[in-house]
Amino acid sequence: MLKNMLKATVFATTMALAAGAFLAPAFAEVVYNRGTAAESESVDPHKTSTVYEANILRDLYQGLVMQDQNANLIPGAAESWTVSDDGTVYTFKLRKDGQWSDGSPVTAEDFVFAFRRLEDPATGAEYASMLYPVKGAEDVNTKKGKPEDMGVKAVDANTLEVTLKAPTPYFLEMLTHQATYPVNKASMDKLGADWIKPGNLVSNGAYTLAEWVPNDHMKLVKNPKFWDAASVKIDTVNYIPTEDRSSAMKRFEAGELDSYDDLPTEQLADLKTKFGDQIRVGPYLGTYYYAIKTDKAPWDNVELRNAISMAIDRDFLAEKVWQNSMLPGYSMVPPGIAGYTPAVAKYADMSQIDREDAAKKILEKLGYTPEKPLKMEIRYNTSENHKNTAVAIQEQLKPLGIEVTMVNTDTKTHYSFLEQKGDYDVARAAWIADYKDPETFLGISRKASGNNYSNYNSPQYEAAMDKAAAAGGKPEERMKDLADAERILVDDVGNIPLLYFSYKDIVSPKLQGFVDNVMDVHPSRFISKE
């Protein structure tokens, strides 16, 4: 008897193995091991803040509009939309075949719920401001208004009407941000706090969340209910956080990762030799700048600020410190936004030697020489490259009569000091675009912005920005107005822009559809793997 059972087992196992081997090629699962430099914070769109979640949430959810492999705006859960003549009412037609991963339809009501939830103070959404252009949204978020009064209305199951406070030409671009994605109310009501757990999470994107082991991997599997599931080529995407950039390069080389979204900049030259065109470096919408206290003597002197800005050799910073993983920057808005020409500093086309001479003259006029130097403190947050940047600037300014001292603190200390308007001279900061519009870069220098670390306060700039906002309905005129505003900001040296960011990816030749773009956006649904 026992012998028979044993035989049967052996036979069954053999058959199963044979069948498996036979069937495997036909149903080979396509797995994309996608390396990321940091772990995500949350898969709740209303609780995220980093670009690391942005990639994952773009795979899990569909907002009204989405981005394609070129970071261009495409229809998402909405298949079409119309905008009223005055630019304040957006009417979205949701696609009829839009479904949640549990099979229920995605309705206009879902977006009403999600938009209200994002603004609800109890949610504590860091990116609640993404919907501030919507009428009444800011009031809800700041406890001045009721959610019912927000300008979002489900006209019928497939029609969503959004009313804005004022015409906002970049509103559609803002809607590509993950904070505006919908969440599934039914599963929240049913499961309470557990709705977010892998296996429970109901989403409406190309993938669903199967597993999440923090700091190890997040497994996304293809969502058969996704409206365009037929064109999704990759069955499983494993997001693999690998914080150590050097280890990540080895994991890529060993085939453990198919792509990775950062590079160890100090090894960039070697990596380019070794991996050739698998290394992708190109312009990314981000600006690395120094905030300078414009309301504190002696930095309140425009001439002095201009001299300092002029004397900094940005080519050296980009090439030597950042190994060409950054580009020299002379404007707050980086190049790459269609229809917009950044206002670069006037000395940008001078040679570095001429700039230094000009700076020296100004400084001498103001009474600063190497013998009688001006003391300047640069604050930066912990990072080898931030340190090297500050050290290089220290060396560059020394012969001109500026004695730089440096204060290094950890990131939290740094930004809390800046936020509390501590007593600093110059502080490192950076800005990465939330959406493709100059507004995202220029808004941070407005008087009232929490990110105005230079305490820049210029009535001309405020007026120019208001004029651009008023030109909302006319995109071309608005872009011109914004460039005029940036001209004021840059000539005033409201900040010292230093470098433009680059995206830095390493991508296996096995992957197709991983297209370089200024937002470094690469939705898995457009990627395929050999």
Partner 1 sequence: MLRYVFRRLLTAIPTLFVIVTTAFFLIRVAPGGPFNQERGLSPEIKANLDAQFGLGDPLWLQYVHYLGNLLRGNFGPSYNMPDFTVGELFAKGLPISVQLGASALILALLLGSVLGTIAALNQNKLADYSVIALATAGSTIPTFVIAPVIQLLFGLTWKLLPIGGWGDGALINKIGPVLTLALPQIAIVARLMRGSMIESLRSHHIRTARALGLSDWSVVVKHALRGAILPIVSFTGPAAAALLTGSVIVETIFSIPGVGRHFVVAALNRDYTLVMGTVVVIALFTIIFNLIVDLMYAVVDPRVRYD
Residues in touch with partner 1 (CB under 8 A): 39, 41-44, 47, 49, 121-126, 128-129, 141-143, 196-197, 212-217, 240-244, 246-247, 250-251, 253-254, 256, 409-419, 429-432, 449-451, 453
By beta-carbon proximity to partner 1, the closer residue of 227 and 431 is: 431
Q: Write out the two tokens for 4.
A: 């028979």
By beta-carbon proximity to partner 1, the closer residue of 28 and 213 is: 213
By beta-carbon proximity to partner 1, the closer residue of 128 and 317 is: 128
By beta-carbon proximity to partner 1, the closer residue of 41 and 228 is: 41
CA dist., res. 60 & res. 101, Å (int): 10
**Contact, 433 vs 440, CB < 8 A?**
yes
Tell how far CA 509 is from the center of its chain. Answer: 25
By beta-carbon proximity to partner 1, the closer residue of 42 and 352 is: 42
Q: Among residues 163, 157, 154, 114, which one has the least CA distance to residue 135?
A: 163
Least distance CB 15 / partner 1 (angstroms): 27
Least distance CB 44 / partner 1 (angstroms): 7
DSSP calls for 286-331: EEEEEEE-TTSTTTT-HHHHHHHHHHS-HHHIIIIISTTSEEE--S
Least distance CB 101 / partner 1 (angstroms): 17
Per-residue CA distances from 223 to 61, 101, 208, 226, 393 (Å): 10, 6, 6, 6, 51
Least distance CB 244 / partner 1 (angstroms): 5
Q: Write out the two tokens for 134.
A: 């919507």
- Biggest alpha carbon distance in the chain? 105
Q: Write out the two tokens for 220.
A: 């996304």
By beta-carbon proximity to partner 1, the closer residue of 177 and 525 is: 177
Least distance CB 480 / partner 1 (angstroms): 28
Least distance CB 481 / partner 1 (angstroms): 25
Least distance CB 141 / partner 1 (angstroms): 7
**Contact, 426 vs 378, CB < 8 A?**
yes
**Contact, 500 vs 265, CB < 8 A?**
no
By beta-carbon proximity to partner 1, the closer residue of 52 and 330 is: 52
